[in-house]
Structures are given as C-alpha cells and as structure tokens.
C-alpha cells in the first residue's frame, strides 16, 4: 500500500525505518502506546521487521527524505468497520502532518477498502488527538469512564483512564469533502 499526499508518503514499513521509529517510540508520549515502547535500537530493528509484515501498520514518511515521522494503524472489524489510530514524532508537531496523513488514510479506507464506519479511541487528556478527530469530521460518540489501564498508580494498582470514542460514517465523510 502506498498513499502520497503533498508532503507525505504513507506506506508499509521497511526494515530501514528503525531509526525513525526509534526516534519517537523510545519515549512514547501517550500511555496507550507504552506497550510499544522501545528500550534499545535493536528493539527498533526487530519491531520494524514485525511491522513490515503487519497489514494493519503503516509508516508516515516525509516525501522528500523518506524519513519516518509517525505511524497509522487500521484494524478491520467485520464486515466493514475499522478502528484507527496514529502516533507521531513530537519533533514534527504543529506542521499539519498528522492531519494530512490521517485525512489521506481515512480517504483510502473509505474508498479503497470500502469502509462504512471508522472509529478511534482517544484518552481524555490527549487533546491533540481529540482535535485531530474533530478536524477530520469525526463526532464524539461516547465517553468511557475508567475504561482501560495502561499504567499503574504509585501503590501498584491499575490507573484507569477515561476514553472518548470518535467515529465517522462513509456518507458523512463524502459530505464533508
């Protein structure tokens, strides 16, 4: 799979993407990605090998240099719904790359993969992702209180996080274009 936008390329991961992935997954900024934390560069090399074979994971790269600046994922739920998410290197924030990539990705899922519905989970403290969902025309459908735990409290008990669900239907996507 390959999607080109004005400034980006969205593609399958390659083994040469380890440095780019390491640059942001060595310190994930959002708790939900802590399970993807890379502790060594060797972990990054192993991770891109796995991602390169995973049809749900996609690298977001700068078109001019092919540098990985983030990733997108889409997990299909039968028959025609996708759960999506994204993670970007904070060094590239504020330039519109996440919006550009996510917009092209949703367009691909609706038009090439024939998605009917796309949704994303976003923690209540992740305001940047909430705003991205809203820029994409996604509506806030639900608010789950103490929905999931990715980290522990100082006493070792799970720290549960509140999570929003955003979604958009194909017919809504077409109207917004």
Nearest Cα to Cα of residue 68 among 4, 129, 35, 24: 24
For 132, counting Cβ atoms within 10 Å of its Cβ (0-12 exposed, 13-18 middle, 19+ buried), the class is: buried
What is the CA angle 33-58-95, rounded to 5?
75
CA dihedral 137, 96, 151, 155 (to 10 degrees): -110
Q: Residue 147 pLDDT > 90, yes or no? A: no
Q: Encoding tokens for residue 7?
A: 């400034």
Structure confidence at residue 35 (pLDDT): 62
- Model-level pTM? 0.92
> Coil, helix or strand for 78?
coil
What is the pLDDT at residue 31?
Answer: 47
Quick check: 89 and 69 in contact, CB under 8 A? yes
Kindly report, residue by residue over 85-109, the tens digit of the pLDDT: 999 999 999 999 999 999 999 999 9
Set out the domains of the chain in order of their start, with CATH numbers.
2-174 (3.40.630.30)
């Amino acid at each position: 799979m390959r999607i080109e936008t004005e400034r980006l390329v969205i593609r399958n991961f390659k083994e040469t993407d380890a440095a780019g992935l390491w640059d942001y997954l060595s310190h994930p900024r959002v708790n939900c990605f802590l399970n993807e934390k890379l502790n060594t560069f060797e972990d990054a090399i192993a991770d891109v090998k796995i991602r390169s074979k995973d049809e749900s994971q996609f690298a977001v790269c700068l078109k001019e240099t092919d540098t990985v600046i983030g990733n997108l994922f889409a997990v299909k739920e039968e028959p025609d719904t996708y759960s999506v998410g994204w993670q970007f290197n904070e060094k590239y924030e504020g330039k519109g790359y996440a919006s550009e990539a996510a917009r092209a990705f949703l367009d691909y899922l609706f038009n090439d993969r024939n998605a009917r519905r796309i949704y994303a989970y976003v923690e209540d403290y992740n305001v940047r992702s909430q705003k991205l969902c809203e820029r994409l025309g996604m509506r806030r459908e639900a608010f789950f209180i103490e929905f999931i735990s990715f980290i522990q409290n100082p006493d070792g008990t799970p720290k549960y996080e509140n999570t929003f669900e955003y979604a958009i239907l194909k017919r809504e996507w077409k109207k917004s274009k």
